[in-house]
Amino acid sequence: MSQFSSSDFDGQQYDNFRPVYVESFYKYLLDYHFKTSHEQESESIVLDVGCGPGTAVFQMEHFFHNQFSKIIGTDPSPPMIDTASAKLKGKENNRNLDTKTDITFKTSSCMELSEKLDVKVDMITVAEAAHWFLPFKDFLKEAKKVLKPNGTLAIWGYIDPCFVEYPGLDDFLLSLDYGKDYFGEYWEQPGRSILRNLLSDQKIETSDGFHDIEVRKFTAADYRLKQNLDFPLIIKKKITIAQFKGYVGTWSAVNKRNSVLHDSKEVIDRFFAELFRKAPDLGWNTEVTVLWKAVYKLARSSV
């Protein structure tokens, strides 16, 4: 995760090209949270850990404003917090008073939540960040410290994009991620491998002080075979090849390779030249449906 904290990391580009999360998942999350009764309090709080540029925070303001009065976003990366704070400032005049939630961003590690927060929270969300939370059991201890009884812990992530309409390109797209000639050697480990395995090693167990644990996964094969389509977190985006190139530029491995070899632009250009050779009907303005495999884990803090 250190690449996201480097001074030359472009938090704005990350915000521009990363996928967003679907409304159906936030509705599912609310249904899960309110399956158990919660005491009515004057302040109900969501804590988004590893908030990045605020992607999930601003979406939750839109979908959760009737249920939660405050959202706190934390991230260890100053460039990410700077981007999120600038985004909040830029939105300030256009935020609807009827749907406006108190939003705060703080620079903080996932392992010091109880030190940085002076309140208990109703829900902790972790979007596309839990694979960096090591040791994971230490994070769960911190989560327990700041969650109210029966509070919700919601973790989700996505990885390995494919073009739905071009299954024959699946392996080639994966080579950009993991091939030695591209960016395979520049992912920070073991985080990347943990996410690629859809957080299977990031276990939440009753012995950790949680119950009502729910874990589900979704792959490109599920989508193409039209199975498991009730999965609430199908992450897909209709974008041009040029926009997909912009998304690739947000990868931490691209930033890392460039800091070492200063050739990431040339490597990406070489990949897309080969892509157009393999699929001549594709061009920079061609739209494709990009789908990521995804996972979510929900759990409730035991009393």
| Span 190-215, pLDDT tens digits | 999 999 999 999 999 999 999 999 99
Does residue 274 lie in a domain region?
A: no
**pLDDT at res. 262:** 98
- Overall domain count for the chain: 1
Alpha carbon of residue 166 to chain centroid? 25
Confidence check: pLDDT of 8 > 80: no
Does residue 195 lie in a domain region?
A: yes
**Torsional class of 199: left (φ above 0), alpha (ψ -120 to 50), beta (otherwise):** left
Confidence check: pLDDT of 109 > 80: yes
User: What predicted TM-score, i.e. pTM, was given to this entire model?
Assistant: 0.93
Confidence check: pLDDT of 99 > 80: no
Q: Please state, in angstroms and rounded to a whole number, the distance separating the CA atoms of residues 295 and 158.
A: 7
For 242-258, the pLDDT digits (tens) are 999 999 999 999 999 99
Give the residue with greater pLDDT, 97 vs 90. Answer: 90
Does residue 287 lie in a domain region?
A: no
Does residue 170 lie in a domain region?
A: no
**pLDDT at res. 15:** 75
Position 93 confidence tier, pLDDT thresholds 50, 70, 90: confident
**pLDDT at res. 9:** 52
- The average pLDDT across 163-186 equals 98
Chain mean pLDDT for the chain: 93
Diameter over CA atoms, the chain = 60
Nearest to 205 by CA among 114, 110, 125, 302: 302
Q: Is 291 helix (H, G, I), strand (E, B) or coil?
A: strand
Does residue 208 lie in a domain region?
A: yes
In this structure, what DSSP letter does residue 278 have? H
Nearest to 223 by CA among 286, 179, 177, 158: 158
CB proximity list for 229: less than 8 A, separation 6 or greater: 222, 223
Position 12 confidence tier, pLDDT thresholds 50, 70, 90: low
Does residue 200 lie in a domain region?
A: yes
Residue 131: Cβ within 10 Å count? 26
> Counting beta carbons within 10 angstroms of the beta carbon of residue 9, is it exposed (0 to 12), middle (13 to 18) or buried (19 or more)?
buried
Confidence check: pLDDT of 97 > 90: no
Using CA of residue 40, residue 64, residue 13, residue 19, what is the dihedral sign? positive
Domain region containing 229: 2-160+188-236+293-301
For 62-90, the pLDDT digits (tens) are 999 999 999 999 999 999 999 999 999 99
Domain CATH code at residue 203: 3.40.50.150
Position 91 confidence tier, pLDDT thresholds 50, 70, 90: confident
Confidence check: pLDDT of 6 > 80: no
Does residue 62 lie in a domain region?
A: yes
Does residue 102 lie in a domain region?
A: yes
